[in-house]
Amino acid sequence: MVAVQLLGYGFYTAAWYQLILAEGYRLRFRACFGIALASIFAVYVTPSGVFMEVLRCLLGSKETGMPFGESTASVALHRILYIVGFLAITSFGLFAVLSGSATDSMSVLVLASIPIATVAGLAVLLYFSLAPRKISPALDRILRIAQPVIRRVQKEAVIEGRADRFLREYDDGFKRMVTSRRGMLLSFLASLGDWSCSVAILWIALFALNVNASVWVVVITVSIGRMIQMTPIAIPGMIGVYETAITTVLALFTVPVSIAASAAILSRIVTVWLELPITGAAAYHYGFKLLGKTTLHL
C-alpha cells in the first residue's frame, strides 16, 4: 500500500505539472513534487483544505515566476480535471453497482447524491473559471482584508495591483491551458491515475482482511469519503470523520462493521502516517522559501 500511495503522489504532481507546462512555464518535476507534498501537509495542520490550495498557488507562483493569477488558474483547472475524472469513474461505478445487485431505497438515495453533488460543485467551479470577473467585487474586498495578514507573514512582500489584475491573469492562464490539448489530456490521465491509487489502497486493505469486495463498491465508497473530505468542516485532515464515512458506506454494501472499520483505519494509517513525515519535511523546506523575499502579483 505504501508503494501505491507514493505512486498516487506522483500522479497528483504530474497532473498539475502538465498544466504548468501548458501555461508556458518551466519547473523541475522534483520541485513541483515538493510543492505538492508541502501543500498536502497543510491539510493536517489547518481546519480546511482551502489552505492546501492557497499554499500551492503561492509556492507555484514563487518557484516558476508566473503571476499569482496564472498560478491560481493552474491549481483550479487541476481540481476541475480531478472532479471530472472522479465524476466519470463514480458514475460508471454507480451504474454497475445499481444494475448488478438489489439495493435498498436508502442506499440508492445515498449513492445518487454523489454525482448530483459533484455536478453541482463542478458547474459552479467552471462558471467562475470561465467568467472570473463575476467575482471581482468580492475578491477586491478579500484582498483588502488579507493585505495586513500577508504583510505580517511576509514583511518584505510587494503587493501589486488589485482584483482586476489578478482576474485578468487568471483568465489568460486558464485560456492558454484549455487550448493545449496535449496538456489537458495528460493532466486528465494523471488525475485518473491519482484517483485509481486511492481506490487501490482501500481495496488492498479489504483484501488483506479477506474481504473480496467489488472494485465498483470500493470506487463508490472512496467517492463518498472524498466528498466528505472536501466538506469545509474545521477538523484537520478530517481524521475520524473520513473513517466513519468509509465504514458506513461499506456497511451499506453488507461488509461487517468491524471489518469495514478495520479497513478504513488500516488504509488511513498508511496514508496519514506516511504523509505526515514526508509532507512535513517538504513543508518545512518550502516554508522558509515562502517566508523569504518575494513579490506577490495580486
Instruction: Round to whole Å and give the CA distance between 17 and 170.
Output: 17
81 C-beta neighbours (distance < 10 Å), count: 23
Tell me which residue of 32, 56, 102, 82 sits closest to 223, measured CA to CA. Answer: 82
pLDDT in tens, 36-55: 888 888 777 766 667 778 88
Taking residue 210's Cβ as centre, other Cβ atoms within 10 Å add up to 7
Q: What is the pLDDT of residues 101-136, one digit of tens each?
A: 545 555 555 565 655 665 666 566 555 555 555 555
296: confidence class by pLDDT, cuts 50, 70, 90: very low
Is the per-residue pLDDT at 152 higher than 60?
A: no
Q: Given a cut of 70, is residue 95 above it in pLDDT?
A: yes
End-to-end CA distance of the chain: 41
Helix axes 50-64, 68-100, angle to 10 degrees: 140
- Beta strands 295-296 and 158-159 are parallel
Q: Which of 237, 262, 236, 233 minimizes the C-alpha distance to 247?
A: 262
pTM for the whole structure:
0.77
Q: What is the pLDDT of residues 160-204, one digit of tens each?
A: 445 677 778 888 888 899 899 899 999 999 999 998 898 999 999
